[in-house]
Structure 1
Amino acid sequence: MIRYAVVGAGWISQQAFLPGVGQSGNAKVTVIVTGDRRKSAKLAEFYGIGSVVDYSSYDAVVCGQDIDAVYIATPNHLHADYAIRAARAGKHILVEKPIATSEEEALAMIAAAREAGVFLMTAYRLHNEPGTVAVLEAIRSGAIGRPLFFQSIFSFQTVVGNHRLKAESWGGPLQDVGVYCINAARHIFAEEPIEAVAMAHRPGDDPRFQEIEASVGAMLRFPSGGLAQFVASFGAAPVDNYRVIGSSGDLELDPGFKFETATKLRLRRDGEIHETPFPHIDHFGAQVAYFSDCITSGTPPEADGEEGLADLRVLRAVEKGSLTGQPQPITSPPRRCHPSPDLVRMTPPTDRRLIL
C-alpha cells in the first residue's frame, strides 16, 4: 500500500483525488498538507486520514517515514518548489498539470527526481482511461487512415474567486483545460508540434477576466503535416470533445476530457458509423493505482516529467503567439512511448466524497 501526502486540499483534491485514492486498491492518504487546518480536519475525519499539517511543516512530512509519495495540487506557480523538496527527501511525486510555469522550473523538477532516484509523474489521468487509449489504438490500427486534422473544444463557465483566474499563479483556460487538447493532439499524431499560432479574447465587462484571458484558440503544426486546432475557454457553455479526421475516416470522443462522465467513441468510415461507449471509471483512482504500481514495481511512469515538459513548451508557445500575433516555433524531442492498453486501470467510480 503506497502512502501519499496530499499537498493542497482544494477543489480537485476534495472532488476527485481523495475519493479516487479509496478506489485504487493499492494506495492511501496518510497526511494532508494545507493552508486551512480546520477545513482539512473534516476531510481527515471523513477519509480516516491520520495527520493534518500546515505548509510550514511540509519538510518534516516529506523527510518523515509516514509517506512514500506526494500528490501536489497547489496553484501552478507552487508546483516546482514542493516537488523539488519532496524529491530531495526521497519521495515520489505526482504533480497536477501543468507541471510548472516555466521550462526552467520543469527541468529543475526532472533533475531533482533523477538525482534522488524517485519517480516524477505528471497527472495525466486520461492516459489510464479506456476511451482515450481506444482512440489511440484505433488510429494506430489504421482505422481512419493517416490522421490529418484534430479539432477540439474544452469550455465551461468558471466562477469568481477561483484561483485559476489569478495571473500570479499562471491561471487561465489555456493552462487549465487547453493542456488536455494539446496532450491529446500530441499523442494522436505521435509527434511533437513544431509551430503554434494563436489568439485570445478577454471581455472588458466581465469581472472574472480582469487578470486572465477568457478564451484562447490555437493551431499547432506537426512535422508530418498534421494540424491541430483547439479552443479553451472559461466563459462558454460546457463542452469537452475532440475529433480526428484522417485520410479515410474520422473519429470523435465526446465527452472527451472530463472525469465526471464516461467517454464515448464514434468512428465513421466507408459510410458506416460505429459507436462505442466505455465504462465510467474513477479517473483519479485509476491514475493513483497506476502510479502506485509503478512505485511498487520500480517501473518509470509513462507520463513522466518530460511528458509534462513537452506540453509546457507548447503552452508557452501558444501563450506567446496569442500575445504577439506571430507564429511561434516549438522544439521538443520525440517521445519514446505513448499511452497504451497496459496503462488502463478499470477503477470503479464512487459517490462518497466530502466537498467543503
Structure 2
Amino acid sequence: MASRRNFIEKLTVSAIGLPLAFNATGLFAASDRPYQGKTLRVAIMGLGSYGTRVAKAMKDCKRAKLVGVISGTPSKVETWQKEYGIPNKNCYNYENFDEIKNNPDIDAVYVITPNGLHCEQTIRVAKAGKHVICEKPMGINAEEGQKMVDACKAANVKLLIGYRMHYEPNTVAVIRMRKDGEFGKPKFFQGQSGFVIGDPTQWRLNKKLAGGGAMMDIGIYSINGARYMLGEEPVWVTAQETKTDTEKFKEGVDETIQFQMGFPSGAVANCLSTYAMNNLDRFFMTGSKGWMEMRPSTGYGPIKGRTHKGELDQPHTTHQTLQMDGMAELIFEGKQPIVPVNGEEGVKDMKIIDAIYEAVKSGSKVSLN
C-alpha cells in the first residue's frame, strides 16, 4: 500500500493558482546563478522512502551535497554507495554513528527515522559536533523537542526541522502577501490534511515509534500552516476525535481529529487531520480585504492555488532541493527563510499537538502559554 509520502506525491487534485508581481528565483538559494561558496556536506540517517526522496533532490542542490549514510540495513548502504558515490569511511550504522565526530568530511546529519527515535538520535549527533536537520515532527512531544533544542545549543550546533513548505515558492508568495497586508486582517483559516492509510503494520501506526497517528504525520501541516498563514501563535485549542477502526488504530494512535485554534487577534482556525479520508490537502484563509485557497497545499508539488487577485503561478522546483540549499545558506551565512525552520519552531508545533491530545481526552478547551 502507498505510504503517506507516496500518496502526497500522486495527489492530483485540480486547482487554481495566482500571478504575483515578483519573480521567485531571487528568493531561494537554488537559483541558476553559479555558486562558488561553501557546500554543506550531509549524511542521511534513515534510508527509507523519504530519505530516498531527499537524496534524489539533493542531486540538483548547489549548496548541499550528500556525502554519507547511516542505516541499520547493510544492503541499503551498499545500494546508496553505488547510486551516490559514497565512500566506505562515510557509512555508519545506528550503533556506531557517534564516530562521525572524527569525520571532518561530514557537516550535518539529516535524521529521517521514525518519530520516536528522533530525540535520542538528534542528541547523539549533536554530541558528535555535527549540525542536525530533523524531519518533522521533531519528536513525540514538546518535552522531547526541548531536550533536542537544549542539546544542540550545548553542543554549539544548529538544529533545523524539515519544514520544506517554508521554502516553497507559492507558499512564500502567499505569506508575503499576508505580511504586506494584502488580505487585510486575517480572520479565519481552514486546513484539511488526510488520506486513507494502508499497511496496518507500518511504523506510523505504532504508538511507540510514531507518537500518535494522523496528527503527528500530517495534522502538523495544518498546525504549522495556520501559524504561518495567520501570522500568529494560538492561545487555545479544542479538539474532537473520531475512531471507526479500533483494530488498525489502537490506543494512542489517532484516526481522525477535528481541532480548532484561537489566536490573540480573534482569528480562528478549524482543521481536520485524518488517516481515513482521501483528497484532503487544502488550505483556505480569509481576511478583511481578501482571501487565498491552496489545493494541493502541502503535497510534493506542484502546489496550486489562487487568491482574490488571481492565480498563483510561481515556478515549481523540487521542495527538498530548495530546502537543503536554503538550510545550507542558513548554516553558513545565517540567512533565514520567511518562516523559521529552527528547533524552537518545531517545539511550538509540538506544544500545540500536546494540547490537542489533551483536549481530546478532557473534552475541554486547553490554554496555551
Using the TM superposition, give the Cα deviation of residue 253 of structure 1 relative to its aligned residue in structure 2, in angstroms: 1.2
1:194 is displaced (CA, Å) by: 0.6
Q: Kindly indicate whether residue 206 of structure 2 is the aligned counterpart of residue 166 of structure 1.
A: yes
Quick one: distance in 2 between partners of 1:58 and 1:151? 42
Choose the corresponding residue for 2:248, options 188, 201, 208: 208
Q: Which residue of 1 aligns with 2:317?
A: 281
Q: Which residue of the partner structure matches residue 217 of structure 1?
A: 258
Moved more, 304-313 or 33-42: 33-42
- The answer as to 2:346 corresponding to 1:308 is yes
Q: What amino acid does structure 1 have at the position aligned with 2:239? A: A
Q: Hey, what does 2:362 align to over in structure 1?
A: 324
CA distance in 1, matches of 2:196, 2:328: 34
The Cα offsets for residues 83-109 of structure 1, whole Å up to 9 and x where unpaired, read as: 111112211110011111222222221
Following superposition, the deviation at residue 62 of structure 1 comes to 3.9
TM-score computed with the length of structure 2 as normaliser:
0.84
Give the Cα separation in 1 of the matches to 2:323 and 2:87: 23
Pick the aligned partner of 1:262 from 299, 302, 315.
302
Q: 1:276 to 1:300 in 2, by over 3 A?
A: closer
User: Which range is displaced more, 100-109 or 282-291?
Assistant: 100-109
Contact 1:147-1:247 at 8 Å conserved across structures: yes
Q: 2:100 matched to 1:61?
A: yes
- Whether 1:40 and 2:80 are equivalent positions in the alignment is no
Q: Tell me the secondary structure at the aligned position of residue 281 of structure 2.
A: strand
Residue equivalent to 1:100 = 139
Matched to 1:287, the amino acid is Q
User: CA offsets, 1:203-260, max 9 Å, x none?
Assistant: 136x43234121111000001101011101112113211000112321111111011x
Letter aligned with residue 184 of structure 2? G
CA distance in 2, matches of 1:289, 1:266: 27
What is the count of residue pairs matched by the alignment? 324
Distance 1:201 1:82, change over 3 A: same
For the 8 Å contact 1:135–1:265, the answer to whether it is kept is: no
| Alignment partners' CA distance in 2, 1:303 and 1:232 | 22
Instruction: Report the secondary structure of 1:208's partner residue.
Output: coil
Match of 1:22 in 2: 59
Please state whether the residue corresponding to 1:45 is helix, strand or coil.
helix
Q: Is the 8 A contact 1:150 1:185 kept in 2?
A: yes
Partner of 1:337: none
Q: Using the TM superposition, give the Cα deviation of residue 140 of structure 1 relative to its aligned residue in structure 2, in angstroms.
A: 1.9
| Aligned counterparts of 2:77 and 2:125: Cα–Cα separation in 1 | 21
**2:330 — aligned with what?**
294
Aligned to 2:7: none
1:183 aligns with 2:213: no
Q: TM-score, normalised by structure 1?
A: 0.87
Report whether the alignment pairs 1:237 with 2:274: no
Pair 65,71 (structure 1): closer, same or farther in 2 beyond 3 Å: same
CA distance in 2, matches of 1:237, 1:198: 21
Query: Runs ≥4 in structure 1, deviation > 4 angstroms?
Result: 298-301
| Residue 54 (structure 1) shift | 1.6
* Residue 300 (structure 1) shift: 6.6
Instruction: Please state how far the C-alpha of 1:29 moved relative to its aligned partner.
Output: 1.7
Identity of aligned residues (%): 31
Contact 1:157/1:238 (<8 A) preserved: no
152-161 or 70-79, which deviates more: 152-161
Aligned to 1:338: none
Structure 2 gaps, min length 5: 1-38
In structure 2, the partner of 1:149 is: 188
Specify whether residues 100 and 9 from structure 1 end up closer, same or farther in structure 2 by C-alpha distance, changes over 3 A only: same
Alignment-mate amino acid for residue 165 of structure 1: L
User: 1:262·1:278 contact (CA, 8 Å) conserved in 2?
Assistant: no
Q: Displacement of 1:297 after TM fit?
A: 2.0
**CA distance change for structure 1 residues 46 and 238 in 2, over 3 Å: closer, same or farther?**
farther
Aligned counterpart, 1:344:
none
The code of the aligned residue for 1:12 comes to: Y
RMSD: 1.6
Counterpart CA distance in 1 for 2:121 and 2:104 is 17
Alignment partners' CA distance in 1, 2:97 and 2:67: 13
3-state SS of the aligned residue for 1:193?
A: coil
Maintained 8 Å contact 1:20/1:282: yes
